[in-house]
């Protein structure tokens, strides 16, 4: 058995672990204005990252945006995921294809669509002014709300499909039994379906959080130059500042933060639903 999984393990090591190890090694080097990078073994880049109020604010803003988008996505996805899981065979495949369609469009294209909707001369402002609901264009671009809307629209299909696949495995007879005992629809979902679907809910939240905190195109296009998250900050250090050691340190901080938050969130969700069940 160990021999059979060896090729997959080697592939993971080559494609994931090796680049991460290289990134970690680069983060311990020092930046030099002439040579760009000097060989060293120092945690100075990490110290500077945490000592700088700007990058602490960027990390805090990234966490806040990611948590907000994850919670909103879960709230928006529960009803469609349940409905999709209970559809008959005739309609389930077409609806699932429609749910998958947004994933076939790149994040940049979808962000451009939101720019066309939320811009000063966009469709939303045109409708507000035409309908007399506003005296002039409302600033919606380059705001936190625009970034949240854009990110949620990107990750929502992932959450719907993940949660619906697990709810689909929950037998409807269990819900019927709870209803026969006097439980209402919301009580059935909260006390019966949600605990049984806890693994899918936790997996969907983890996947969504990872996608949200590592978002790049949507914050750059919808948030503007002043809106900062960790992924654009890492990109700026590598490309604009040419400070590879500091950019690598920011990337490792983002990676570790993502791992810690996903582990904590997965543990919290699983424990909550197990206890409530």
pLDDT tens for 196-243 read 888 788 888 888 999 999 999 999 999 988 888 999 999 999 998 889
Give the pLDDT band of residue 273 (cuts 50, 70, 90).
Answer: low
91: tokens are 């309609």
Q: Which pLDDT score, from 0 to 100, does residue 46 have?
A: 96
Cα–Cα distances in angstroms (integers) from residue 31 to residues 26, 44, 233, 240, 241, in the given order: 10, 10, 17, 14, 10
Q: Which pLDDT score, from 0 to 100, does residue 272 have?
A: 58
Q: For the packed helices 144-167 and 107-118, what is the interaxial angle rounded to 10 degrees?
A: 130
Q: Which pLDDT score, from 0 to 100, does residue 156 have?
A: 95
Q: 125-142, pLDDT tens digit by residue?
A: 888 888 888 888 888 898
Q: How many residues does the chain have?
A: 277
Query: Does the pLDDT at position 158 exceed 90?
Result: yes
Q: 41-91, pLDDT tens digit by residue?
A: 899 999 999 999 999 999 999 999 999 999 999 999 999 999 998 888 888
Q: Which CATH architecture has domain 43-276?
A: Orthogonal Bundle (1.10)
Q: What is the pTM of this model?
A: 0.87
How many other C-beta atoms are found inside a 10 Å radius of the C-beta of residue 261?
18
């Amino acid at each position: 058995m160990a021999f059979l999984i060896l090729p997959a393990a080697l592939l993971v090591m080559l494609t994931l672990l090796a680049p991460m190890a290289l990134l970690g090694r680069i983060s311990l080097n020092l930046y030099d204005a002439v040579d760009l990078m000097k060989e060293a073994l120092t945690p100075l880049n990490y110290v500077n990252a945490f000592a700088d109020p700007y990058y602490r604010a960027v990390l805090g803003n990234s966490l806040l945006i990611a948590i907000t988008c994850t919670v909103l996505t879960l709230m928006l996805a529960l009803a469609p995921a349940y409905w999709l899981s209970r559809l008959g065979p005739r309609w389930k495949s077409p609806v699932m294809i429609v749910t998958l369609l947004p994933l076939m469009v790149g994040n940049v294209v979808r962000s451009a669509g939101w720019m066309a909707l939320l811009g000063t001369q966009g469709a939303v402002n045109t409708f507000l002014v035409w309908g007399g609901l506003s005296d002039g264009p409302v600033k919606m671009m380059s705001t936190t709300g625009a970034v949240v809307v854009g990110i949620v629209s990107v990750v929502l299909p992932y959450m719907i499909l993940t949660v619906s696949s697990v709810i689909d495995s929950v037998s409807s007879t269990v819900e019927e039994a709870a209803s026969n005992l006097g439980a209402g629809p919301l009580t059935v979902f909260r006390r019966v379906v949600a605990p049984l679907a806890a693994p899918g809910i936790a997996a969907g939240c983890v996947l969504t959080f990872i996608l949200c905190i590592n978002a790049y195109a949507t914050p750059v296009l919808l948030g503007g130059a002043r809106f900062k998250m960790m992924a654009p900050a890492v990109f700026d250090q590598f490309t604009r500042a040419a400070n590879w050691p500091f950019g690598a340190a920011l990337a490792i901080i983002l990676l570790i933060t993502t791992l810690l938050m996903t582990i904590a969130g997965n543990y919290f969700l699983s424990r909550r639903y197990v206890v409530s069940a």
